[in-house]
A and B are shown apart, each in its own frame.
Chain A
Amino acid sequence: AQSVSQHNHHVILSEAASLELGCNYSYGGTVNLFWYVQYPGQHLQLLLKYFSGDPLVKGIKGFEAEFIKSKFSFNLRKPSVQWSDTAEYFCAVRQPDKLIFGTGTRLQVFP
């Protein structure tokens, strides 16, 4: 069965710092990968997704992620974070009947 690991449980940054959140998955075949964001008190929203093609995926709000097949990774990046990026971020891999989520990374951005 596929699994997803997010090694950063809690990240604290100052505004304008660069961000990289790690995501590794366990399955070696064709994968569909997602990053979701959950702002405080809100539901999950899709940031970006990878299905095929260009391994560098651009999402909303200036986020991007790079699919590196050889490393089984799909790390999320943002060059310059803002206070409004404070949220919890979930990486997920798709199986036919569900998404398998990582345990999440809580990002706090201080002004």
Chain B
Amino acid sequence: EAQVTQNPRYLITVTGKKLTVTCSQNMNHEYMSWYRQDPGLGLRQIYYSMNVEVTDKGDVPEGYKVSRKEKRNFPLILESPSPNQTSLYFCASRRYSGTNTGELFFGEGSRLTVL
């Protein structure tokens, strides 16, 4: 089954404690992206990656890092989480070649609370 898998789905942590949210897709997609969803703000892109070892900032990258060492994985790293990073995070992927339809496939979401 084609899917984007995120872990953990729920996490409560404290300010300053480094954490990583993993994302893995099994569709051999070149493009992967992280979004955060906040009430009244919709979804905003944090980082994206066109392919292995190619990453770039989205609209709200501050406080986040990413890496793309393998095509299937795109972890989101919060080096020193702060309460304003409390949010619902979505990883997404799509093909990025030829007749790219632009349709994003989303993971189930990771709800992060930073105390």
Chain A residues near B (Cβ < 8 Å):
9, 32, 34, 42-46, 49, 51, 90, 94, 97-99, 101-104
Q: A32-B102, A42-B108, A98-B58 are in contact. List 11 more A-B contacts (CB 8 A).
A: A9-B40, A44-B104, A49-B101, A90-B43, A97-B56, A98-B45, A98-B48, A99-B104, A102-B42, A103-B40, A103-B41
With a cutoff of 8 Å between Cβ atoms, the chain A residues found around residue B58 in the complex are 98
Determine if B106 is an interface residue (Cβ-Cβ < 8 Å): yes
Whole-angstrom distance from the CB of B109 to the nearest CB of chain A? 6
The A-contacting residues of B in range 68-115, CB under 8 angstroms, are 90, 92, 101-104, 106-109
Encode contact with A along B2-46: 1 for CB under 8 Å, 0 otherwise: 001000000000000000000000000000010100001111110
Q: Which of A32, A43, A97, A101 contacts B42 (CB 8 A)?
A: A101
Binding site for A on B (CB under 8 A): 4, 33, 35, 40-45, 48, 50, 56, 58-59, 90, 92, 101-104, 106-109
Question: Please, which residues of chain B bring their CB within 8 A of the CB of A45?
Answer: 106
Contact A44 B106 (CB under 8 A): yes
